[in-house]
Structure 1
Amino acid sequence: MRKSLAVVAGLATTGLLLTGCGSSGGDNGSTDTDSGASGDKVEVFTWWASGSEKVGLDALVSVFDEQHPDIEFINAAVAGGAGSNAKAALASRLEANDPPDSFQAHAGAELTDYIEAGQLQDLSGFFNDEGLTEVFPESLIERLTVDGKIYSVPSNIHRANVTWVNTDVLESAGIDATKAPASVDAWIADLKKLKDAGVESPLALGTEWTQMQLFETLLIAELGAEGYSGLWDGSTGWDDAGVTTAIDQYGQLLEYVNSDFAGLDWDAATQVLIDGAAGYNVMGDWAEAAFVQAGWTYGQEYTTWPSVGTEGIFDFLADSFTLPVGAPHEDGANAWLKTVSSADGQKAFNQAKGSIPARTDADPADYGDYQKTALQSWAEDTIVSSLAHGAAAKISWSTDISSAIGKFGSDKNADALQSALVDAATKALG
């Protein structure tokens, strides 16, 4: 779902890969902005170009085609996990005053740069007209609101602090797969047990953003919901002893990961677990679709826990869609946002993607066993915002953190990592 966030507000990268997600009207990487009725087409920009993400987009577009048969859907997907490539391509288009009609982003702090640059339209009126303030939970509305305005429409809710477990691998090593270890130290002991039992890579890991996600779960476990949330407003210092402990634990975990982790995107890292070469993978719940596609049954071949030490906390992110300033087909964009926020659109999309609807009127019976656990946790748990997925920190800050964590993966210098994290916070918070 994500790749290295080596892309900041300036957002420049190389090797952009433009692809389409097969659906109606999908010219690969189209930037169609020709004249015509404002509502006869809509160009939607995402990074959903493969795997469960593509399946989810296709399902959502199918509902859009049913609800708005007279509007052509133009697919402008840019491949590359985490949207790093997409954000770079999008920045170029916005700078050239060539916006798509709607683009995917993560709800929360990731939108800060776009808002401050005056590149997004206020959607508060849309929320009122569509009754979304009544069907989206108050906790979500609060996270979508910036200075009294709402700038994006969420298509889903994802949970980042999920540990996926290959039950056969654990049970073969004499480890109880049905419950999480009592502490991170206990989990490290189980990883050693797997390694001693001949499991090549007890913990499957991928590229930089998956490393950052693993690290944030350790921060949550060590600092708790309040302490972790304080990292983003300065009430918790990055020189805190809890951060030091999380760094030490993260270094220990890296001793049990696959050696090729730096080159694997999330789906390849998840496949390491499915293939039986790992016992665990810390990944957001977009991974659910991979297990379903493998023909596995929840509670049998695989299971999940909230990442060790984070029971009762929901590490939140949401994919959402915007209405850019200057969208050439604004009526089409509004039609797209209506589908994204509709009960039918959210049901189709989330059934395919493994996430849960943002709407509170969803019927749990429509979703799989894992998703039922996520629906319950979203309703009951303490919510925190994900770092790795744009909810906690603006792009420039998370990029600095990602770079520091990526460097630590090579040099294992804990003091240098913590110093870099302190510097990044000072730069971001002023």
Structure 2
Amino acid sequence: MRMVAVLAAVALLAASGCGADHDDTPPPATVEVFTWWAEGGEKAGLDALITQFGTDCRGQRFENGAVAGGAGVNAKQALTERMIRHDPPDTFQAHAGAELLDYIDAGQVADLTGYYADWGLRDVLPAGLIDDLTVRGKIYSVPANIHRANVVWTNPAVLAAAGITAPPEDLHAFIEDLARLKAAGVEAPLALGRDWTQLMLLEAVLITDLGADRFAGLFTGATDWTSAPVAEAIGDFVTLLGYGNLDRDALDWPQAERLLIDGKAGYQLMGDWAAADLTAKGFPGYGWFTFPGNGNTFQWLADSFTLSTGAANLGGTECWLKTVGSAAGQQVFNQAKGSIPARTDVPATGFSPYQQSAMTDWKSAVQVPSCAHGSGCSQAWQSAVNAALRAYSTAPDPKTLQGALAQAATRFIRS
């Protein structure tokens, strides 16, 4: 009996020893979040959202699956390869809207419609945005923010040296100001980057020359890509390219932005993530205006998150998505990233002057989607348009460019 008692005591001590090193608390569950936010204001926003996730979702651990590259070019390729291997992350970043069509058709993302009711998102997101997020009656992503695409950023010192002290009233006046910069010796009056950034510029010109409704109709079939107004817009676009840097196809948007910061350019058309990036790079004195002729049109794009079909950590991913869509999550994320909340109930306190103006416009302006950032067209359509722009750089013929754009619309437009 004594031996039994000793053995029992030893076993108890052994168990106690294990408990001292390894308590009964289960290890945190991991949520792999796949994004392209790897630097600058984008990473700052992600870091703020991760902190909020840690507060909201205790017991869950964030695993960063970021792949760097402007507009997600590299990340989308890496994600495609993972999907082919049937190795999806729990959740991945995508531009809200038509860009998700390929994932939806492939059955790679889950229906989130019920969460919108559970979390009250229909009450705080604009009805137009809900409509754009809805595909065949279902919603497949939660937007973290709203970005505005049709914004021109300026170097006020460069403009002032050329005698330019106010934003141009229309596209004709903008072209005149570009000519003044060129005459003043500015190397590249309009800073330009690679294909998708050129598509942003083309879209802004199309909004000016067609108007908001006819522009939106380009992606629904209501507006003909072969029409004379589109030809006129392409002509204006070509004129603007003539005031840009010759190495545009070799630069991503941050490199093009550097021309603006260094005083080698006066203007850059870029989404409003540039605001946070310019500040982070020590250039807080930038100016901005809506692209000339766009009026009160707000060309939007939204970073959103999905629930991958068969996500390994369903509960943790649900908590991540709830944080992404929450007022607290959108406040801390967007203040750091430079975008604005998709929700309309987040107070403007703590946001920059630019963000506050964009938040006001988001509630009242005419909203149109962006093909360059996936809210207006599918990834395949976007790729075809970017290829047409690259081809134009090699063999610049406006009629050929218009024909290629029309052909892309014919191939990919969906009812």
Query: TM-score, structure 2 length as denominator?
Result: 0.91
What is residue 182 of structure 2 aligned with on the other side?
A: 195
Unaligned runs of 5+ in 1: 1-36
In structure 2, C-alpha distance between the alignment counterparts of 1:414 and 1:40, rounded to whole Å: 54
What is residue 208 of structure 2 aligned with on the other side?
A: 221
RMSD: 1.5
TM-aligned CA deviation for residue 408 of structure 1: 1.2
What is residue 262 of structure 2 aligned with on the other side?
A: 275
Bigger drift between 314-323 and 373-382 goes to 373-382
1:345 and 2:322 equivalent? Answer: no
Aligned length: 389
In 1, are the aligned partners of 2:191 and 2:245 still within 8 Å (CA)?
Answer: yes
What is residue 174 of structure 1 aligned with on the other side?
A: 163
What is residue 238 of structure 2 aligned with on the other side?
A: 251
The SS at the match of 1:41 is strand
1:93 and 2:82 equivalent? Answer: yes
In structure 1, C-alpha distance between the alignment counterparts of 2:135 and 2:334, rounded to whole Å: 26
TM-aligned CA deviation for residue 334 of structure 1: 0.6
1:355 and 2:355 equivalent? Answer: no
Bigger drift between 305-314 and 139-148 goes to 139-148
Change over 3 Å in CA distance of 1:101–1:39 after alignment to 2: farther
Cα offsets for 1:320-361 (capped at 9, x unmatched): 000011111111111111111111211111011110001111
Runs of 4+ aligned residues of structure 1 deviating over 3 Å after TM superposition are: 294-297
State the AA in 2 paired with 1:236. T
In structure 2, C-alpha distance between the alignment counterparts of 1:291 and 1:214, rounded to whole Å: 19
The structure 2 residue matched to 1:230, chosen from 191, 200, 217, is 217
Correspondence list, 1:259-298, <5 A: 259-297=246-284
What is residue 102 of structure 1 aligned with on the other side?
A: 91
Bigger drift between 51-60 and 306-315 goes to 51-60
In structure 2, C-alpha distance between the alignment counterparts of 1:311 and 1:372, rounded to whole Å: 18
In 1, are the aligned partners of 2:142 and 2:325 still within 8 Å (CA)?
Answer: yes
Kindly name which structure, 1 or 2, has the bigger radius of gyration based on alpha carbons: 2
In structure 2, C-alpha distance between the alignment counterparts of 1:365 and 1:60, rounded to whole Å: 18
The structure 2 residue matched to 1:387, chosen from 364, 371, 380, is 371
In structure 2, C-alpha distance between the alignment counterparts of 1:224 and 1:87, rounded to whole Å: 31
What is residue 135 of structure 2 aligned with on the other side?
A: 146
Cα offsets for 1:268-303 (capped at 9, x unmatched): 211211111111000000000122224444xxx321
In structure 2, C-alpha distance between the alignment counterparts of 1:271 and 1:421, rounded to whole Å: 30
In 2, are the aligned partners of 1:39 and 1:331 still within 8 Å (CA)?
Answer: no
In structure 2, C-alpha distance between the alignment counterparts of 1:119 and 1:188, rounded to whole Å: 45
What is residue 7 of structure 1 aligned with on the other side?
A: none
What is residue 68 of structure 2 aligned with on the other side?
A: 79
1:367 and 2:351 equivalent? Answer: yes
In 1, are the aligned partners of 2:27 and 2:59 still within 8 Å (CA)?
Answer: no
What is residue 383 of structure 2 aligned with on the other side?
A: 399
Correspondence list, 1:119-134, <5 A: 119-134=108-123
Identity over aligned residues, as a percent? 51
TM-aligned CA deviation for residue 209 of structure 1: 0.8
In structure 1, C-alpha distance between the alignment counterparts of 2:323 and 2:28, rounded to whole Å: 14
What is residue 11 of structure 1 aligned with on the other side?
A: none
What is residue 29 of structure 1 aligned with on the other side?
A: none
Bigger drift between 105-114 and 84-93 goes to 84-93
Cα offsets for 1:355-380 (capped at 9, x unmatched): 00011111112210000111111111
Change over 3 Å in CA distance of 1:176–1:121 after alignment to 2: same
Unaligned runs of 5+ in 2: 1-25
TM-aligned CA deviation for residue 188 of structure 1: 1.2
Cα offsets for 1:152-197 (capped at 9, x unmatched): 00000000000011111111101123x2x23222211111110110
State the AA in 2 paired with 1:165. T
